[in-house]
Amino acid sequence: MLGIMAYILLSFVPIINAQAQTALLEYMQGRMGVLEDRIAQWHDHSSRYSSELRDFKNQVLKLLENIEKERDSLRNEMENTNIRVDRLEREVDYIETQNPAPPCVDIDEKLTELHNAKKKKNEKYAKLTGCPTAEIPGIVETDEIMDPPVTRKAYCSDTISQVNAMKILKRFGSTSGLWTKDPIENPEKVYVFDGTGNDTVYVYPRMKEFTLFSTTRKAAKIKLPFPWIGTGHVVYGGNLYYIRQGDEFQVIKFNLANKTVVDSAVLQIEEQVPVYGLSTFNYIDIVADEEGLWVIYATKENEKNICLAKLDPSSLGIEQMWDTPCPIENAESAFVVCGSLYVVYNTKLPSRSRIQCVFDVSGTISSENVPIVYFPKRYGSHSSMKYNPREKQIYAWDDGYQIIYKLSMKPREDLY
């Protein structure tokens, strides 16, 4: 390259003398030498950087390999921990079943004494007359602590023994909602309330259609005159009883056959608060059992505990009210079976739902006869649990999953 440059210069500068040519060549040789040194230095730096980059890449690969091994190790530890936690849950459930905690049941001592005296009197009369107690004329089985007394139906003498089976039907709609059946009229129809506030009810002719179809195209739609709030509604005797919120909470009685409002009423309840700590969208929960309709609610006056009232389905009037010992905190839902309120509790962290408080309006359930009932591991939280007295099943809505709990019942001991 240097020879070529010199040739060019000599060709175009013939008049330059030999001394000037020598000086120019020496200058250009010096500049070219500096350039060659810089090129050599650049090659050295490039080689060093490439070597350092390869070393860094190898280090990163080793770190990623170690991280992958640690992740696999942590995954195995988590799986082992889950297995141990599940085993511990089963052991705790077994221990609690063998040694149940004292339930929240109030027992009136005077009622117990009166009940025992009446029982002895009936047995004495039966021995003298030779006829069974049920056939003794003039004897009416009533709860004498209530004013007015409530007559107990002869067939309604069951209490929950355990959850016998669980069936997950599907996942439909919002995380919170309600699905139920009418235990009296058209017991095959399925009524679905999607969400905690809406004005459209989906009605499926049978359980088969609700289970098989993921959309609502097989469902009839009933548009209500007023939107509902919460998940405390019930279908009973061909009518829908649902909660409407305006200036005050109002119970609407809507006839499902002719699609008209039959009646409406503001309940005799003041300063209401959410009735369940884990389902704060529910201020009034209307439920049905073998004896009719009930209202589960809470007020500021008794803001720590749940209240219960008997509702007249014809007039929407409250027949009787009770303050229960069942706390609102960590309650997610409740239902009534044979005049007994069962409150289901849980925690915000994933755990099993369980019945921790039972309140019987007659006060005749003794502590040792109260069952400890557990529900299978949840998805989230039960936004609604509707007991069907005809089928002895609970229709539950858990984080968008529609679930059926089949209950095992047993006769009450020492009821009368």
Is residue 105 located within the same domain as residue 34? no
pLDDT for residue 152 = 39
> Which residues constitute the domain of residue 338?
100-411
Evaluate whether 295 touches 284 at the Cβ level (below 8 Å): yes
63 and 10 both lie in a single domain:
yes
DSSP string, 191-240: EEEESSEEEEEEEESSHHHHHH-SSSTTSEEEEEEEEEESS--EEETTEE
- pLDDT at res. 4: 58
- 78-90 pLDDT, tens digit per residue, is 888 878 876 776 6
Whether residue 239 is found in the same domain as residue 357 = yes
In a domain, 29, yes or no: yes
Give the pairing of strands 382-388 and 374-377: unpaired
Domain match, 129 and 71 both: no
Separate counts of helices (H) and strands (E) for the chain: 4, 20
Q: What is the pLDDT of residues 32-71, one digit of tens each?
A: 888 888 898 888 888 888 888 988 989 899 899 899 888 8
* CATH of residue 160: 2.40.128.630
Is residue 87 domain-resident?
Answer: no
Same domain, 170 and 306: yes
- Whether residue 315 sits in one domain with residue 239: yes
Is residue 322 included in any domain, yes or no? yes
Same domain flag for 139 and 38: no
Residue 34 lies inside a defined structural domain of this protein: yes
Pairing mode, strands 318-327 and 260-265: unpaired
pLDDT at position 386: 96
106 with 57, same domain: the answer is: no
The DSSP bridge partners found for residue 263 are 253
Claim to verify: residue 33 and residue 114 sit in the same structural domain: no
The pTM of this model reads 0.65
Whether residues 349 and 282 share a domain: the answer is: yes
Q: Is residue 95 part of a domain?
A: no
For residues 180 and 288, membership in a common domain is answered with yes
Confirm whether 80 is domain-assigned: no
Put the strands of the sheet holding 197-204 in their side by side order: 177-180, 190-194, 197-204, 220-229
For residues 142 and 42, membership in a common domain is answered with no
Residue 82 forms part of a structural domain: no
Residue 17's pLDDT is what? 72
Q: How many structural domains does the chain have?
A: 2
Would you give per-residue pLDDT tens digits along the chain (416 residues)? 556 555 555 565 555 577 888 888 888 888 888 888 889 888 888 888 888 898 898 989 989 989 988 888 888 888 888 788 767 766 666 565 555 444 444 444 554 555 565 555 555 444 444 444 444 333 334 343 333 334 434 457 788 888 888 898 889 888 999 999 999 999 999 999 999 999 999 999 999 889 887 777 778 999 999 999 999 999 999 999 999 987 789 999 999 999 999 999 998 888 889 999 999 999 999 999 999 999 999 998 887 999 999 999 999 999 999 999 999 999 999 999 999 999 999 876 667 788 888 998 888 775 456 767 888 866 788 999 999 999 999 999 998 999 999 998 888 764 44
pLDDT value for 216: 76
| Residue 19 is assigned to a structural domain of this protein | yes
Residue 365 has a pLDDT of: 74
**Can you give the pLDDT at residue 139?**
37
The two three-digit tokens of residue 18, written as one number:
């030999």
| CA separation for the pair 334, 279 (Å, rounded) | 11
pLDDT of residue 105: 45
